[in-house]
Structures are given as structure tokens and as C-alpha cells.
Amino acid sequence: MFVNKQESSLKSLIYFARIYAIIITAYCVFEIISNSNPFVDRMSELGFYPYNYDLQMRYGIKRCYTIFPMHITNGAVSIELFCLLLFAWIRGWLSRKKTNLLIIGLLALNIFATGARSVILSFIICLLFLLSYLRRSFKIIICSAFLFCFLAIQFHDYFNEIILSFSDTSSVEGSSSEMRERQWILTYSLLQDSFFFGHGIGYISDIMDKFSYDMQGAESLWIPVLVDLGFVGAIAYATYFIAIYLFCAKSNYKPVIFIALGFTVLYIMTSVPNLAFTNFFIYILAIVTMAKYPLVKNVKHNKDLYFSSNI
């Protein structure tokens, strides 16, 4: 897609990503205000979504699912869209209209509203891919520092609760270090029975039904991989992640490696239902492709849309 028709492909991706983001963020605002999600409830009643969705609170607000079957999936998609649209906004591929900045800001709100520690940590790591811009602009440094201080003071209790939940996993409802330990003990036991090739695709579903207490949610991409595909499958998956790191390291915009790191952490900490783990590479490829073009590209169309300096 980004080989023969790079510009047109990027423009199409950004255009539809923006529409996608508008749908997600608009529904996120509705979900937070109303403390309800009629869409997800209805999809669950029809049997399209596999869970019963009672009201779930985390860090004082409702956990946002928006249009997805899991809050984790909502968060992962929002991180991808956030990184793509923010970079497009910086590079001039996305208009500098305030509405676009609002959409990007609401994506960040949606990420925190998932209430998922794995998603929040992944998001913070992914943000590091913008460090090269912070170094180049004193104005951006000042604005970022001011925004950070404002949020830290204004939402002091909220961020303290998030930080505490990392050190004391039992301080919030949901997954805990004890639960994850039980999952890995059971995974190790199953791996011993079929070390090299695993038990076959889909076997993890039977295990989750049979050992519902020990294997709640299979909180890592690597648990179903090891159970279903064994050591050989784990090597194949690890090779894919290594290939992405090598691609990022050799690319023209090396800070994008932080996005790969963020999603690696996400998939170590949790599983992301209904979202292919290969999906985030599309956004990395798009960002690397955007970085190939000068910031002043197509400046004749609208000078206000572009920075004047190059990467």
C-alpha cells in the first residue's frame, strides 16, 4: 500500500482514521456522561459480543468500551489512531484546525477512560516517539511542561490512584499480580505436556472454560501462543516483533521504535481481543512513510499547515 502509491495511500489512511476517531471519541464522551453503552449492551444481547456488560468503574469513572467488545481493544485502537493523527498533524498531513486537535485530545481521554493499566503504560511509552520534536522546539517544551504540571495538579488524586494500582495491584478490581501468577503457573504446566508444538489452535478456549478461576482472561498474548502453538509458535511470534524493531532501527525516523516498544509491553501485559497483533505495524509504516517527506511538502496549498524545519 505504501510502496507504489505512498501519498494517495497515506491521505486515504489519514482521512478514514480521522472519521474512525470521530466515531470512537464521540461515543466515548457519551459513554462517560451517561454511564451507559447501549451499543455494546445490544451487541451482547444479540450474541455478537461474548460478555455481559455490567457497569464497571475504574479510577472513579466508567470504563469505556465505545464500540468494541473489550475496553483493552478500545484502548489499543485509540493508541494507534492517536499516534497516527498526531504525527500527521505535526507533519502537515492533517489540517491544523482546532477540531482535529480536539479529536486527538479526546483519543487520549478515551485511552485513560479504559481504566486499563496496560493500555495507559503502553500509551505513555508510545508518546516517547515524539521526543525528537521536543528537542527541536523550545516552545513545544514549554507548552508540554505547562500542560503536564496543570494535569498533575488538577487531577492529582486520579493519577495517584493509577500509580498506586501498578505497585499495589489489589487496590483496584480486576487483574492482579496473584491472578497473573496463577495463569503463568497453569501455562507452564500445560507447556510441559506439549512443549514444542503446543496443543493446537483454539485449545486455550477450552482451558479458559475448564479453569475459569486460574485462567481469567489469559492476560498476555504469550499465554495462548504458548498453550496453543508451543515453543515453536512463540519463536515465530518473537521473530515478528524482532523484525519490527529492526525495521524501526533502520528507518528514517528511528523514534518510531517507541511505538513498537509500547505495543510489545501491551501484549506482554494483556491480550487484545478482536484486534490482530500485527495491526500496529500498519501505523508504524505510515508514520515512517510520512517522515520521508519534508515538513514543507505541498506548502503552496496552505502554508499554515506545515512546520518550516526538517527532521
Q: What is the pLDDT of residue 171?
A: 58
**Looking at the predicted structure, is the pLDDT value of residue 37 above 60?**
yes
Choice among 163-172, 175-184, 224-233, 294-303 with the minimum mean pLDDT: 294-303
Question: How confident is the prediction for the chain on average, in pLDDT?
Answer: 82
Whether this prediction's pTM lies above 0.75 is answered by yes
* Per-residue pLDDT reduced to its tens digit, 11-27: 899 999 999 999 999 99
With 80 as the cut, is the pLDDT of residue 59 above it?
Answer: no
Give the pLDDT confidence score for residue 201 in this predicted structure: 86
At residue 3, does pLDDT exceed 60?
no
What is residue 265's predicted lDDT score, i.e. its pLDDT? 94
Q: What is the pLDDT of residue 75?
A: 95
Q: Give strand pairing partners of 57.
A: 62
